[in-house]
Structure 1
Amino acid sequence: MNDIVIGAEDRVALVTGAARGLGAAIGRSLAEAGHPVVLADVLEGVEALAATLNAAGHRARALRLDVADEGAIGRLPETLGPWWAALGVLVNNAGISPKVEGRKRLVEEIPTEEWRRVMEVNLTGPFLLCRAAIPVLKRRGWGRVVMMTSQAAHVPSSITGAYYGASKAGLMGFARNLAVELGSFGITVNSVAPGRIRTDMVAGAAPGMNEAFLARIPLGRLGEPAEVGAVVRFLASDEAAYLTGTTIDVGGGSYMP
């Protein structure tokens, strides 16, 4: 399936951090909506997910990619060929949130290199990908960029460190600025801010953390990855054409601005 020529009307969706959790759910949701999907990650798992989607009759390919590797981003036109030329949807989902025994580091405990790596993956990576993708989307006169941020961008978190919240707040601000720059080209840029969603990352929290968080969720449960995928699928559609520069919170009511 990876040697197909993408038709002019196809809109390839590139999803980063797609090996598991939210990224995998988003990739599956977009594939089910008819998009050819490129599943990008540094982790194992993207190949298996691509194979599963192809076996189900969708169009998918796996790509091992470190979003903080500027050289690798620059080679995407060559690496993806016609899939890159047909790019229509970019979902910047890759992100890291380091923990120590399931708990966040306090600011005074954060090593400088760990701070830098979080910023490189969570914020610089989306910048590099957007910068590379903009010319393609402009040529097509249509595009959807979705930034996967977090409710930690809105309020301090007892679970994620300050560098995670700072990077996600920066991503939200980046999205708003980009929305202004690209609106006249038929390209929308929006953010999705999940709350506590049932993923491996959430499951790795220290004992009692998720239970304490549940008390602040009006719907009384953790979210499911597919529910986030459905929101991204909508933002990638023609029905969301008049929505840009906004943030959709998917947290069961745990954050209400």
Structure 2
Amino acid sequence: MYELGQRFTTGIDIDHALVAKFAEFSGDLNPIHVDAVVAREFGHPKPVAHGAILVAIISRMIGMEIPGPGAVWLSQNVEWLQPVYVGDRISVTLEITEYSQGASLLTLAVCAVNHDGTKVMQGQARVKQGYNLARTRERKMDKKGLAILTGGSRGIGATIAAVLAEDGYDVALIFRSNREVAKKVAASVQSFGRKCHLVRADLTIPGQGTEDLIALGPCNLFVHAASADIGTVRIDEGACSSQDLYDLHWQVTCKAAMELVRLVMPGMVEAGHGRLIFMGTSALDSSPPVGWSPYLMAKHALWGYVRSLAVELGPKGITANMVSPSMIITDLTKNVPHRAKEIEARKNPVRRLAQPGDVADAVRYLASDGASFVNGQNIFLTGGI
């Protein structure tokens, strides 16, 4: 980002070798440039440097500094006010007088002065800032760093924790109440030689414990796998008159996600690298089960948030994606009858239900260097339904 009035300055010593080299390159062998005797005959105390040498210095500054590699020089007007002589020390300054970020155009005031402070040249340049259409892929991280994981003490989250540890991440595991279960997951993480930080936080209450994450330092991966129990509330039986379940899902699924992203985002922005991954549901893209409106409304809102994160943080090297599995046998589906699960498995093209490992593998991919161009996507793990 540039600012009006911002200046860039460079200096150059004008010597005989430089003038001779430029004369040979350009073919301008006018004797006042290369012959001191002739220069004096024309009234100059020393050989006169080619004016285009200073233009070449402007070209160097535009191409290497302001705005730098990829820049296209659109126009230049120059007024030479005084001769530049061999032996002069010249200082060239470019000052931003106009900047259009949308058009990537810069207007630069040009000024050159000699070692006596005498202005020898002035003018104006217009430059288009270059844009690398193929931009270098983000550098691979030598160290995986810290992954923060919600909902990691059970089901999908526990499997994700183990996979991330296997891939080299230390894990900060957010759990609500069952420390003993969380310790078992921590042991799984530690079995891969990684650290596991247990952070007790109640995501059903805003700010309840999440501030403890700040002490752990920056992270480069955040996975939001926490979810309230789905529950069922039929709209045609007065669901809208009771907001408790709706509020619960909104808090755990959306507000907690936003709160945690606010905590991890500054470190990711500073590092120029980060991954944000959220759990969705295949019901986002199909007819939902009856009674799922509190759960599904929150997931749709979360998906909208993920898409916005992808757009706004992508330029900062941070990607945001969602993984949406179909039915999985976890605590969240404990109230689904076994017969219904069996029917679901039989009608699936791969003849089974999704497994926590399927989700963990998708998270592993999205967290990898190979997914640097995957952003704002919702990966549906449905087996083909």
Instruction: Give the structure 1 partner of residue 301 of structure 2.
Output: 170
| Matched letter for residue 371 of structure 2 | A
What are the superposed Cα offsets for residues 182-226 of structure 1, whole Å, 9 maximum, x if unpaired?
011100000100111232322431342212322442111011111
TM-score normalised by structure 2 residue count:
0.58
Gapped regions of structure 2 (runs ≥ 5):
1-141
CA separation in 2, counterparts of 1:91 and 1:234? 13
More displaced stretch, 51-60 vs 175-184: 51-60
Matching residue of 2:184: 48
- Three-state SS of the structure 2 residue aligned to 1:144 is strand
SS of residue in 2 equivalent to 1:163: helix
Residue in structure 1 matched with residue 167 of structure 2 by the alignment: 33
**Residues 28 and 39 of structure 1: CA distance in aligned 2, closer, same or farther (over 3 Å):** same
d(CA) in 2 for partners of 1:25, 1:159: 29
Alpha-carbon RMSD: 1.9
Q: Check the 8 A contact 2:165/2:192 in 1, yes or no.
A: no
Answer whether contact 1:154 1:169 (CA < 8 A) is retained. no
Distance of aligned partners of 1:229 and 1:130 in 2 relative to their CA distance in 1, 3 Å threshold: same
Structure-to-structure mapping, 1:172-211, within 5 angstroms: 172-211=303-342
Instruction: Name whichever structure is richer in helix by fraction.
Output: 1
- Of structures 1 and 2, the one scoring higher in RCO (CA 8 A, sep 6+) is 1
Q: Does 1:23 align with 2:157?
A: yes
Residues 50-199 of structure 1: pairs in structure 2 closer than 5 A:
50-72=186-208, 75-78=211-214, 81=215, 83=216, 85-99=217-231, 104-107=232-235, 108-110=237-239, 111-158=242-289, 161-199=292-330
Q: Identity across aligned pairs (percent)? A: 29
- CA positional deviation for 1:120: 0.6
Indicate conservation of the 8 Å contact 2:166/2:192, yes or no: no
Which residue of structure 2 aligns with residue 5 of structure 1? none
Larger strand fraction of residues: 2
Distance across 1 between alignment mates of 2:210 and 2:289: 37
Deviations 1:159-196 (A, max 9, x none): 66111111111111110011000011100000100111
2:150–2:174 CA contact under 8 A, matched in 1? yes
Equivalenced residue count is 239
**Aligned counterpart for 1:235 among listed residues 362, 366, 379:** 366
Compared CA separation, residues 159 and 30, structure 1 to 2 (3 A): farther
Tell me the distance in 2 between the aligned counterparts of 1:77 and 1:60.
13
User: Contact 2:162 / 2:188 at 8 angstroms: preserved in 1?
Assistant: no
When normalised by structure 1's length, the TM-score is: 0.86
